[in-house]
Structure 1
Amino acid sequence: MSDIKLFKLANNTVQELSGTTDTIEKSVQVLFERHLEALLGVRFLATEFVTTNGGRMDTLGLDENGCPVIIEYKRAMNENVINQGLFYLDWLMDHRKDFQWLVMEKLGKAVADSVDWSAPCLICVAGDFNRYDDHAVRQIQRNIRLIKYRRFGEDLLLLDQVTSTSVKKPVALPGTVELSPSVTRYKTISAVIEDLDAAMIDRLEAVRATLSALGDDVQEAMLRFYIAFKRIKNFACVEVRPREGRILIFLKIDPVTVQLEPGFSRDVSKIGHYGTGDLEVTLSRSEDLEKALPLIQRSYDGA
């Protein structure tokens, strides 16, 4: 991690803090699992989850979009943790019922019924990755994130998402997944987009291009009912309401800190909605996107 340096400023002096990575994988795994939601936006489900083919997943979780997440920790530079994680990801897709039973046991039936299989993700955590890891991930059409970590003393932890890849179309699932009636009565975002007229498609593509252009670390995921944009965590979730001619963006901003404008922005912290974020921004015209940019940038910076 030679490209990142951390300095302590005190008494008109500058001191570089020396970062370290733990050589014992388990200590890193325990640290992440203990604070998984705060660090990665993932709810913890299981550690050392044993598969029916004799494999053992390091950490299993559910991200803030309700998608399955496998986290693997790289012990050595020559360990092929990416291929191992992809092997587990394929197993998980073939054993969805096992995962949903686990979610039901840990988080309840309502959460299990709403598991979104359209964008399962593999997160690989390591003290460092090599150029071959980065190249390999970019060739694979799966949702994969490579995250470096470094510790500075006892109280500082640095995370750096060095590579992230995403599949913009939902993963095609073999067979069917039983969903609760409250979930199945709504059209998926993919179906909604297919029915959009040319004007709405242009507006939606402008929104997607604007959000993706905020930084090289932006990852787009087409989920069941919305499109999520994230860095390490979500910073924007996009829904489309074609009958009303509106595009909704949910941002991770405290609505109390914003001068709300009727018809453009509102507090949805106590209103149920898909995706994450307590501030809803409504784009009714093409011009509204430019108006929303400061809020979008603020949510991105906070992610």
Structure 2
Amino acid sequence: MQIFNNNKILSTLKEIPFKLEKDIQNLFEQNLELITNFKLIKSEFTIKNNRIDTLAFDIESKAFVIIEYKRNQNYSVVDQGVSYLNLMLEYKADFIVEYNENQKDSLKRNDVDWSQSKIIFVSPSFTDFQKQSSNFKDLAIELWEIKQFENEIIVINPIKKSKSAPSIKQVQRNDDSEISKIAKEIKVYTEEDHLQGKNDDIKELYDVFKNGILNLSSDIEIDPKKLYIAFKKQKNIVDIHIQNRSLKMWINLKKGILKDEKEITKDVSISGHWGNGDYELSVEKSTGVQIYFQWLSKLKSLMIDIHEGFIFQ
């Protein structure tokens, strides 16, 4: 990625290396919700002689997240990642106690979805070997690059796993290994998981809405969750749950913000629902194309609000 300073004539911005891992950690923790949408639980959490740099909680997934910071490249992301994830799964009660001691609200064991646990490594750079060794679609280890430039510019780039990333189960033959244990208990969801077993009509309908949403802005990302597929621009914009005969979608806006004169959405502000936001839209194949254009037009106007600083809940 090339980054320039625009002063009529472009000039290259000079990268400023982080002096200490602690500098990266402080930057992340002070801005954790903005960067990740996670809640900070504990900095320097020690458990069973292991020190976790940052313990966070993903409210959307109802899961704990471990974040580790590195300046050098002399370590194995898989070995440490698997070890820490196993530590979490083995001592679940300790993580819940730590949450309850540091937060105003409290958690019970059943409030946590342990299958959505994950670990994130944050570093200025990763080796090709580190990227390749963690490139498994069902391995809950993420790599995020962070760089600092002059003029106080920070660039954070989560490294995406390749579309052809294999399953860790294909290379793990020993069922007693640590990595096999976490592969059984922790589930990383993909679009394919949500589309599995669905008929071609529903798959085609999903593709229509998916492409329409992605075409609204180049920086919208797809983030499959356990119960739905999230489309994000920093925060969730739309969540889609793929059913056997229809799509159920939630627009992440508070009640009263979306102008819906034709009433194609349903108010779910006081009823239980899976996705984010107070507006729900159900679309079947027979009505999909008709509603699609009405709905997409509304989303385009919402994207203007986003660019003007509108903050989704």
Q: Same fold (TM over 0.5)?
A: yes
Aligned with residue 236 of structure 1, among 224, 235, 238: 238
Other-structure match for 1:5: 3
Aligned CA RMSD, in angstroms, stands at 4.2
Q: Deviations over 1:205-244 (max 9, x none)?
A: 5479648977798454342x434445765443223576xx
Gaps of 5+ in 1: 175-191
Q: Deviations over 1:143-178 (max 9, x none)?
A: 3332111223464322112224799xx97549xxxx
Question: Any conservation in 2 of the 1:103–1:111 contact (CA below 8 Å)?
Answer: no
Secondary structure, in 3 states, of the residue corresponding to 1:38?
helix
- CA displacement at 1:257 relative to structure 2: 6.2
Please say if 1:221 is aligned against 2:218. Answer: no
Give the length in aligned residue pairs: 276
Partners of 1:216 and 1:144 in 2: CA distance? 22
Secondary structure, in 3 states, of the residue corresponding to 2:115?
coil
Other-structure match for 1:94: 90
Residue type matched to 1:122 in 2? I
Q: TM-score scaled by structure 2?
A: 0.69
Other-structure match for 1:16: 12
Q: TM-score scaled by structure 1?
A: 0.70
Partners of 1:116 and 1:272 in 2: CA distance? 18
- CA displacement at 1:25 relative to structure 2: 0.1
- CA displacement at 1:112 relative to structure 2: 6.5
Percentage of pairs with the same residue: 24
Question: Any conservation in 1 of the 2:251–2:279 contact (CA below 8 Å)?
Answer: yes
Going from structure 1 to structure 2, the CA distance change for 1:238 and 1:64 (only over 3 Å counts) comes to farther
Other-structure match for 1:125: 122
Gaps of 5+ in 2: 168-181, 187-193
Residue type matched to 1:5 in 2? I
Aligned with residue 99 of structure 2, among 96, 100, 103: 103
Going from structure 1 to structure 2, the CA distance change for 1:193 and 1:152 (only over 3 Å counts) comes to closer
Partners of 2:127 and 2:200 in 1: CA distance? 44
Q: Deviations over 1:66-118 (max 9, x none)?
A: 22211111220223234312210122122222222223333322586532223
Partners of 2:240 and 2:32 in 1: CA distance? 25
Partners of 2:130 and 2:219 in 1: CA distance? 18
